[in-house]
Amino acid sequence: MSRRTVEDNRMTEEQITGVDSTSATASGVEDVQAESNVPGGTSNVSPEEYDRLKSERDALVDRLARLQAEFDNARKREARERNEFRDYAVSGAVEQFLPVLDNFHLALKSNGSAEQLRTGVELIVKQMEEALKSLNVQPVETVGATFDPRVHEALDTVDRSDLPDHQVFEEVRRGYRIKERLLRPALVRIVNNSQQKEA
């Protein structure tokens, strides 16, 4: 049989059925997909299994929505509690300084001498130091200590041959720490002993 005859026979078969092989294959795939997506179709999933999986999916979606809502509520609650704790901590600190402020107001209204005013200010400073101490705020050690760049800030140096090199000579501004955390460094002048450096 010639090649022309084979092609004529194939064309005749397609004309007889009225459907080409490509469209038949595509149509068959769509039918299978449609059947597998519809309960009661000819796929391997039974209607009962389909309903069970659908209800399980709905339950998981509902649980996810609830967990998301719980997470949002917990985040908002944590932010609110953090703000309340900060306000409580600030109010506790401020309460310690209100008597100090009261004494400053009394000192300003005072008509005493300069010496009496100085004595009053010294008492107020002592009261303020006690308030800081109650909040675990301690001054940084300065005069007589060895210069430590972690807690000291050098303003300048003083040439002295009778004191150890790099010893803190004078405190210009007091530094503070709360427990082990530095609040601000102490501003100091330190000794420059050139004789020790040469030795």
d(CA 162, CA 144): 13
CA atoms 30, 33, 37, 38: torsion sign:
positive
- Give the model's pLDDT for residue 34: 42
Which H or E element spans position 157?
strand 152-159
Q: How deeply is 140 buried, as exposed, middle or buried, from its count of CB atoms within 10 A (0-12, 13-18, 19+)?
A: buried
- Give the model's pLDDT for residue 52: 92
- Tens of pLDDT, residues 65-104: 999 999 999 999 999 999 888 888 888 888 989 999 999 9
Most distant CA pair in the chain, distance: 136
Residues for the chain: how many in total? Answer: 199
What is the band of 198 on the pLDDT scale with cuts at 50, 70, 90? low
Closest C-alpha to 89, from 130, 136, 129: 136
> DSSP character for 88?
H
> How many other CB atoms sit within 10 Å of the CB of residue 169?
19
- Give the model's pLDDT for residue 127: 94
- Give the model's pLDDT for residue 9: 47
- Give the model's pLDDT for residue 138: 93
d(CA 35, CA 60): 25
- Tens of pLDDT, residues 26-64: 444 444 444 444 444 446 888 999 999 999 999 999 999
The structure tokens listed for 86 are: 């900060």
The crossing angle, in degrees rounded to 10, of helices 47-109 and 114-134 is 160
Mean pLDDT lowest among 3-17, 120-134, 154-168: 3-17
